[in-house]
Structure 1
Amino acid sequence: MRAKVLLSLLGAWLLVWLSACGQPSPSKSGGSNGKTAHVIRIGYQKNGPLIMLKELGTLEKRLEPLGYRVEWSEFQAGPALLEALNAGSIDFGRTGDSPPIFAQAAGSSLVYLAAGNSKARGSAILVKADSPIQTIADLKGKTVGFAKGSSSHFLLIQALAKAGLSYGEIKPAFLAPGDARVAFEQGDIDAWVVWDPFAADAERSGGARVLTNGEGLTSDRDFFLASASFAREHEALLKVVLEEVQKACDWVNTHHDEAAAMLTEILGIDQEAVRMALERRVYGIGPMTDEIINEQQQIAATFYELGIVPTKVNIQENIFVWSENVFTWN
C-alpha cells in the first residue's frame, strides 16, 4: 500500500512539470576530433548559478582536456529536473530546497553534493498593487498560486503560520511560474508566491506589490545534486564541476551589469528587473553543514506533518560524503 502511495506521489509530482522535462542523453558521443568523448549531462533552470556557468562556457573549457563534453538540458522548475535525474536522463543539477524532499519521499536515490547561500530576499509573496490584501492574514480564503513542491511552497506555509493561519485556510493553485504570471495578471489568483527573477520582473513590470519576502521565514537555498551511483563513480569530475560553479558565482557577484545583460537576452525580461534580482543575493556554494541539513530536515518534517508528503524523510541519509575537502574556497 505504501509503495502505491509513493508511486502516486511521484506520478502526481511529475504531471505538474511534465511539459518541462528534458530528453535522455547518451553518456558518450563523438568529439569534434573524431574521438569518443565522455559526456556529463547537466540540468539547469533559467535562474541560479548554472545558467551563468552555461553562458560563460568555462566548464566546457575546463573539462575538454579531461575528455569530457557538457550537455545541457533546461527545466522550468526543480521537480521535473529531479525526475530526469532519477530516470537517468541527466547526471547533475541544481534546485531549491523543497524539490529534493519530494523526490526523496518518492524514493529517488539522489544525493546532496553542496549547498548555496541563502536567497531568501529573492523569494516573495506578491499581490497586485491595487489589491485590498495588505497582510498575510488577509490571504485567508484567497487563492494563492505557486509551484507545488518548490521553495515557494514552503515559504507560503511559513508565512501563513507566522500570521496565525493554517495551510488549509487558503486555496492553493499549483502553477508553474509562466502560467502563474498569466493567472496573476488576469486576476485568476489573488496572490502569487515565486522566486527571482520572476518576482523582480513582476514587481517592476507586472504591477506586483510584495507582501513579504523570505527573510526570517526560510533560508531558501540552492542545492546541487546527483544520483548516488553517479556521485560514487565520478567524484573527481563532480569536484571539478563544483569548482567551476563557484567561479561562476564569483564572476556574477562582481559583474552585475554584464550578468544582467546576459540574462536579459536569455530570459526576455526587463534588464533592471534582472539586476534587482542579482543584487538581492550573494552567489556562492559550500558544504552540507549540520546547520543546513537541519534546515532541510525541518522543511521535510513540515511537509510530512501537513500530509503534503506521505512518508518521513531523513535528509542525512542522502548526503554525499566526499573523500576529501572539495570546498577549498571557504
Structure 2
Amino acid sequence: MIKRSLLALSLTVAALAGGVSAEEKPLRIGYVFAMANAPALIADKEGFYREEGLNVDLKALGDGPVIQQALAAGELDVAYVGTPPVYQWFSRGLQSRILAKVNYGQAAVIVDAKSPINSLEALKGKKLAGVKKGSGMDVLLRGYVLKEKAGLNPDKDLDIIDMPPGNMNAALERGIVDAAFSWEPFVSQSLLRGSSRVLLDVNKALPNYPWYVVIALPKTLQERPDDVVKLLRAHRKAIAFLNENPDESNRIIAEVFKLEAVQGVDGKTITPEAIVAQARTRLGWSANLEASDIQFIQRLMNYSYDLGFIDKTLKTEQIVDTSYLEKASR
C-alpha cells in the first residue's frame, strides 16, 4: 500500500512538473498586425493551437523590423513576417528559416479617382506615398513596381514619401501625394469610398505572389521541432477555415482589426465585412511554398542586393526549409 501510494505520488509530481514546464515555456509567436496574417489570429480564436496541444503566447507587432529585433533579442520563437526582413536579417547573422507561406497578394498602387495618371510610367516626377526605405514593401515597390514594371529610377524619377499606410488614403484625398503604394484593407477602404482607383494590382501582375511567411529560429527548430510541426498543422487548419468559411472569417477579421464601416459613393453604408470581402479579391491564403514562390523569394533577394539593401548575394537554399511543413501534412 505504501509502495502504491509512493508510486502514485511520484506520478503526480512528474505530471505536475510536466504541466509546469509546458506553462513556463509557451511557444512565443509574433506576427505583423496585418490582414494578410489572419491565419495566426484565426488559429488562436478557433482553438487550432489548442487542438494540436500547443501552448502559445501570440503577440501582434507593428512591422517586420520590430519582429526581427524581438527574434534577435530572444523574445520570440516563431514569427509571421514579410519575406524581405527575413533575408535582410539573415545577411546580418540572424539565420531564421522560412518554413511555410501565409498569404499571397495584398499590394496595389492607387491614385485619386479623378487623377489624369493612367500608367506607372506617368508617375515620373510625381509624389508617391510609400513606406520606410529598405522595408519589405519598399523592396517590392522599388525593385518590381518602379524599376522592373515602370522602367523608373526610384531614387531620381519620383519622390517617394515615407508614411504609415493608415495615413496614405487621406494624403491621396488631400492631394499631398499623387499616388500611394498601399495594401489591404487600406486599398479596399479607399476604393469602396469611391475616392481612388487602382493603377496596378500587384496580384494581377504577379499572380499569387507570396508575401508573409512563417519563420523560426534555428534554436527553436533544434529544441522544439515537434512544436513547430504542431504550429504548422494549426496554420494549415486556419487557412482551411479562412477558405472554407469566408463569411465567418470575414467577421472575425473585421472585428480583430477594428474596421469601421465606410460610406460609398451612392451614400450607402458599406459594412466592415464587405471591406474584408473586397480585400480578398486582391489577397488570399495558402501554406504551401510552391516552386514559383521560392523563385519569387529569390527575385526579392536579388532586388534587395541590386538596391544595396543587402551586401551579399543569397540563395533560397540557405533560407527556405519545407521539411517541417511536409511533416505537418502527414
- Give, in whole Å, the separation in 2 of the partners of 1:315 and 1:299: 10
State the match for 1:40 in structure 2: 27
State the match for 1:293 in structure 2: 294
Q: Considering only aligned residues, what root-mean-square deviation do their CA atoms show, in Å?
A: 2.6
Q: Is contact 1:293–1:316 with CA below 8 Å preserved after alignment? A: no
State the match for 1:258 in structure 2: 248
Computing the radius of gyration from Cα coordinates, the structure with the larger value is: 2
Deviates more, 1:194-203 or 1:153-162: 153-162
- Give, in whole Å, the separation in 1 of the partners of 2:67 and 2:223: 21
Alignment match of 1:192 (pick from 180, 191, 194) = 180
> What SS does the aligned partner of 2:110 have?
strand
- TM-score normalised over the length of structure 1: 0.79
- Give, in whole Å, the separation in 2 of the partners of 1:70 and 1:324: 18
State the match for 2:12 in structure 1: none
Structure 1 residue 175: Cα displacement: 2.6
Deviates more, 1:161-170 or 1:38-47: 161-170
State the match for 2:229 in structure 1: 239
State the match for 2:111 in structure 1: 127
1:162 and 2:164 are equivalent in the alignment: no
Alignment match of 1:176 (pick from 164, 175, 189) = 164
- Give, in whole Å, the separation in 2 of the partners of 1:256 and 1:43: 24
1:95 and 2:81 are equivalent in the alignment: yes
Quickly say closer, same or farther: Cα 1:198–1:99, change in 2 above 3 A.
Answer: farther
* Identity across matched positions, percent: 24
Q: Which amino acid aligns with 1:115?
A: K
> What SS does the aligned partner of 2:299 have?
helix
User: Structure 1, residues 295-326: CA drift from partner, whole Å, max 9, x if none?
Assistant: 21221111211223333333321233637932
Where structure 1 has 5 or more consecutive residues not aligned to the other structure, the ranges are: 1-30
Alignment match of 2:122 (pick from 129, 138, 144) = 138
Structure 1 residue 93: Cα displacement: 1.2
State the match for 2:276 in structure 1: 274
Deviates more, 1:143-152 or 1:91-100: 143-152
Q: Is contact 2:229–2:325 with CA below 8 Å preserved after alignment? A: no
- Give, in whole Å, the separation in 1 of the partners of 2:95 and 2:302: 19
State the match for 1:10 in structure 2: none
- Give, in whole Å, the separation in 2 of the partners of 1:323 and 1:204: 40
> What SS does the aligned partner of 1:310 have?
coil
Quickly say closer, same or farther: Cα 1:61–1:304, change in 2 above 3 A.
Answer: same
- Give, in whole Å, the separation in 1 of the partners of 2:256 and 2:221: 30
User: Structure 1, residues 35-83: CA drift from partner, whole Å, max 9, x if none?
Assistant: 34121111122322212222223213432xxxx5211111222222222
Q: Which amino acid aligns with 1:102?
A: Q
> What SS does the aligned partner of 1:293 have?
helix
Larger relative contact order, structure 1 or 2 (CA cutoff 8 Å, min sep 6) = 2
Structure 1 residue 152: Cα displacement: 5.3
Q: Which amino acid aligns with 1:92?
A: V
> What SS does the aligned partner of 2:93 have?
coil
- TM-score normalised over the length of structure 2: 0.79
Quickly say closer, same or farther: Cα 1:103–1:187, change in 2 above 3 A.
Answer: farther
